[in-house]
Amino acid sequence: MKQWLQKKALRPSYTGKIIRLLEQGKAVNLIGTQDQGAGRLLEDIRDAHLNQEGYEHVMVVLIDMLEYRRNYTGFKRELGRQLGYDFKLQGQYKLTNFINDATQLVAHSNNPSTVYLLLDHFDAILDNPNIDHAYNMDFFNNLNAMRHANVRLVCVTEAPHDTSLVFGEGKPQGVSTLTLEKDYLRKLSQTEVQHEWERLCSRKHSYLEPEDCKPYRADIQKHLSAYTFLKFVFDRLLYPEEGKEQAWSPTKQLSHWKSLYAKNKHIGGMKRLHKGMNTLQKIKIVTGLKGFSVSQFIGNVFRHFTRSGDK
């Protein structure tokens, strides 16, 4: 596996560290953003175990909780699909029982299995009253109990999970009680930036070469969104604006691209706006404020930034 990580993983050493924690039976709260490559790290953990000799006993399940934040039944179905579990949901089927049943099915092949359950965007079900009501404190207790079914958990959040509230029936039930070892996603190194650039050169069958990264590497590595900014710079070089950017110096290109990248982060900005709306809704519920319109407040904020952008 070490050879695979060195060749394919965005952060080979760090990914190996997280895998070793899972092998030791620990559950992890990976703290970092998607722009830094938190989701990519989960993908690398999953892919590192595919067809790897000596790891046949490990099943890796990767689920994006942002997609299922309002659909607990869909979450369980996706969990079953990835585990190869053919089932029909019946009523309030307990998640702990479901996990136990699924892992027992895997064991029928005389190949006892450990499940690595990787939950991306886990904070989509934290500090959020507008989610499926099944994501309540019982759900979190069930996640904790999964370790007894040989399930190892990794949850990706932008802030430590235990600083966030768990909601049930739209009401706060306390902070997250998950027993997780916190690990902060570290910055990419220039070497890791270079190696990912080389992987992009190979995957996209482009005319760009590994050495083309050199003038941009340090600025990419220092960027707060290094992972996504790396891909942005690569694509700008691969598909330049005709007769314009190609003639610029790397310094001028980077200045322009940083500004353009910031403007193009509309989707990420809307996600943060949505998260902010959930936070305001949480404040309203917890404090009992009356006469406070979350949607009106958000609308005023949005109009303010829209006007600011026109200046």
- Residue 194 is predicted with a pLDDT of 97
Name, of 20-29, 147-156, 289-298, the range with top average pLDDT: 20-29
- Asked if pLDDT for residue 293 goes beyond 80, the answer is no
Domain borders along the chain are: 2-184, 190-262, 266-310
pLDDT given at position 1: 85
Say which range, 127-136, 190-199, 257-266, 288-297, has the weakest mean pLDDT. Answer: 288-297
Q: Determine which of 10-24, 73-87, 150-164 has the lowest per-residue pLDDT on average.
A: 73-87
Cβ–Cβ under 8 Å, residues 67 and 127: no
Q: 27-82 pLDDT, tens per residue?
A: 999 999 999 999 999 999 999 998 777 887 888 999 999 999 999 989 988 888 88
What pLDDT is recorded for position 298?
46
Of the CA atoms within 13 Å of residue 119, those in its CB half-sphere come to 27
Burial-class residue 74 by CB neighbours within 10 Å (0-12, 13-18, 19+).
middle
Distance CA 101, CA 110 (A): 15
Q: Region 288-297: what's the mean pLDDT?
A: 49
Residue 22 pLDDT class (50, 70, 90 cuts)? very high
Q: What is the pLDDT of residue 247?
A: 84
Give pLDDT, residue 27.
96
Q: What is the pLDDT of residues 65-75, one digit of tens each?
A: 999 999 998 99
pLDDT band at 106 (very low <50, low <70, confident <90, very high): low
**What value does the mean pLDDT of the chain take?**
82
pLDDT of amino acid 307 = 44
Q: Which amino acid is present at 296? A: Q
C-alpha–C-alpha distance, residues 268 and 275, integer Å: 11
Q: Which amino acid is at 8?
A: K
Name the more confident of 45 and 146: 45
The listed CATH number (3.40.50.300, 3.30.750.24, 2.40.30.10, 1.10.240.10) that belongs to domain 2-184: 3.40.50.300
Reply yes or no on whether the pLDDT at 156 is more than 90: yes
Q: The whole model's pTM is what?
A: 0.81
| DSSP 8-state secondary structure symbol assigned to residue 210 | G
Which pLDDT value is given to residue 86? Answer: 59
For residue 272, the surrounding DSSP H or E stretch is: helix 266-287
Structure tokens at 2: 């070490």
N-to-C CA span, the chain: 53
Question: Which residues, in sequence order, are bridge partners of residue 168?
Answer: 171
Quick one: pLDDT band at residue 297, thresholds 50, 70, 90?
very low
